[in-house]
Structure 1
Amino acid sequence: MSGAKPSSAPLCTTTPLKLQDGSAATDAKVFRSILGAMQYLTLTRPDLCFAINKMSQFMHQLTQIHFQQLQRVMRYLKLTMNFGLTLKKPTSLSLYAYSDADWGGNLDHRTSTYAFVIYVGGNPVSWLSKRQRTVARSSTEAEYRSIATTTAEIMWLMNLLSELGIPIPTPTVSHISTMDQRADILTKPLSRAQFIPLRSKLVVTDGDPILQGCNR
């Protein structure tokens, strides 16, 4: 991959990912090895959560298109090698969350992908991108399931912070526009124009200037 062209987004928006895509089957050994190593990246790179979660759904029936998309994820990593979470000292320890669901986005089973990202003091501390187990009958049902999972995570975090002696007010839940929906990056492939602003709002930024400063 040293000579490969970098990619500005991990997945292509025009190539549908599904089990039966018409391309030839290919050896899954290398695919599984690379994807297994990438799983660890999701601990500090929420911008990669959806792509890695989506690719892992095809390990048992791998095709050439799946492998090409994995290579695209690697080309994105090449471009963002020094990217990571930029945690800042908060001015207040407010807790808030973004929750979203892509209704019927799975082309094989028509299940939905749900996601959340939770912030404490302006820093993301918990995030998830996962396929729902059953088919939602409407977008509202898919969204409610996502909200329920997000609420459970919020309650767990509030209890943890309470045990640490850190009081957190109950987070406000309200509707926001699609452009401000930070969890959208965790539910579906996005174009470069959509992906980069949301990645910035996840506080995933280029750490190269910081690294250069440490070396001076």
Structure 2
Amino acid sequence: MVTVRSFLAVAAMFDWELCQMDVSNAFLHGGLLEEVYMTMPLGYSGKGEPVQDIPVDKSKSKADYSLFTKKDEEQFTAVLVYVDDLLITDNSVTHISLLKEQLKTHFHMKDLGTVSYFLGLEVSKSKQGIFVSQQKYTMDLLKENGVLNCKPYKLPLDPNTNLQATIGTPLADPEAYRRLIGKLIYLIITRPDICYSVQLLSQFMQTPTSVHHQAAKHLLRYLLLAPAQGILLSSNSAVELKAFCDSDWASCPMTRRSTTGYCILLGDSPISWKSKKKNVVPRSSAEAEYRCMALTCCEITWMVSLLKDLSLNDLSHVQLFCDNQAALYI
């Protein structure tokens, strides 16, 4: 999904055309490495000719194998593939039409026109850029859990709630809690504001209790405050990456592990974020912050490679912001 957001952010930045196509019966087009032998159907008469592979001239991104690009001095085309769904962008409407016709000669495809709904993401384009949200997904989630008529909350979690594994009564049906958290995880795609809360709640999926379920319901009522909230991929963004990272120290009351988080922006467009509890116990706040910076640097390195494949070759040095002086000196 970071690739999807980056793809849309670059298209918004250069005001490229965006369209979507769907491959009918995509599972029939998979590549086989094994030798397959077939018998002719009854009633067939004639000489069968062997089917040969057709070589395809393509440039696959090394950063993400589902991204294909073609570029020369004046033209740039990018195709992002997810199973049977294709996102296509190009700096020329004519080139997109030619590509569509070429694809249709090899596969049975549906032209879905300008992208508006992709993998549950609602995409709308304006002069300000591309706005991505999951309003329908959010409303269905709120309706399913019966909170549409409840009073909204202004914070995703109650600050006074102390979530631990042993607090509360074990749920009779833990599967319901797990399904809810799974759906909230998918909502993080366009809602970085709930990233930390969902990461915290997902730690109790093994044996959820009534306290954990109540905290999850609190988060749902926070979503009720603005179900159409999403991210704006600005058309006026500068061609630069900025990253912000932070980490607490020994915040988990059960394991004393730290929680790290980062957010990376392309100009003014947020394209990558994460909140995660570390699998080691740092011995100082400086070590916790340094590990967080190292994790963010790994993501930055990968993103620079991805954005270069999306024609952003003029990326300057990436600024990484951290509020710990000891970690900065290291």
Bin of the TM-score, shorter chain as denominator length: 0.7 to 0.9
| 1:88 has 2:234 as partner | yes
Whether 1:112 and 2:258 are equivalent positions in the alignment is yes
In structure 1, C-alpha distance between the alignment counterparts of 2:323 and 2:240, rounded to whole Å: 18
Give the distance between the partners of 2:184 and 2:211, measured in 1 at CA: 18
Against the structure 1 CA distance between its residues 91 and 133, is the aligned structure 2 distance closer, same or farther, given a 3 Å change threshold?
Answer: closer
CA deviations over 1:134-168 (Å, ceiling 9, x no partner): 11111111101100010111111112222333120
Name which of 273, 280, 287 aligns with 1:141: 287
1:26 — aligned with what? 171
The residue aligned with 2:220 is 74
Give the one of 164, 167, 172 matched to 2:319: 172
Give the Cα–Cα distance (whole angstroms) in 2 for the partners of residues 47 and 115 of structure 1: 12
User: Secondary structure of 1:18's match?
Assistant: coil
Percent identity over the alignment is 34
Counterpart residue identity of residue 261, structure 2: A
Q: SS of 2:247's equivalent?
A: strand
Q: Give the helix-richer structure, 1 or 2.
A: 1
Q: 1:82 to 1:132 in 2, by over 3 A?
A: same
Aligned to 2:306: 160
Contact between 2:249 and 2:282, CA under 8 Å: does it hold in 1?
A: yes
Match of 2:93 in 1: none
Whichever of the two has the greater Rg, that structure is 2
RMSD: 1.5
Give the number of the structure whose residues are more often strand, by fraction: 2
Q: How many pairs does the alignment contain?
A: 176
CA 1:7–1:147 in structure 2 vs 1: closer, same or farther (change >3 Å)?
A: same
Q: Does 1:61 align with 2:207?
A: yes
- Structure 2 gaps, min length 5: 1-146, 325-330
User: Aligned equivalents of 2:275 and 2:269: distance in 1?
Assistant: 18
Segments of 5+ residues of structure 1 without an aligned counterpart are 178-216
TM-score by length of 1: 0.77
Task: Summarize deviations over 1:70-122 as a string: whole Å, max 9, x none.
Answer: 00011011112111112211242111100000111111101011010000121
CA contact (8 A) 1:111 1:135 kept: yes
CA distance in 2, matches of 1:14, 1:62: 19
1:132 counterpart residue number: 278
Residues 99, 115 of structure 1: 8 Å contact kept:
yes
- How many angstroms apart in 2 are the aligned matches of 1:110 and 1:175? 22
What code does the residue aligned with 2:271 have?
V
Q: In structure 2, give the amino acid aligned to 1:138.
A: S
Corresponding residue SS for 2:251:
coil
Seen in structure 2, the aligned counterparts of structure 1 residues 175 and 152 have a Cα distance that, compared at 3 Å, is closer
SS at match of 1:79: coil
Is this contact kept in 2: 1:94–1:169, CA < 8 A? yes
Q: 1:174 deviation in Å?
A: 4.8
Bigger relative contact order, structure 1 or 2 (CA pairs below 8 A, ≥6 apart): 1
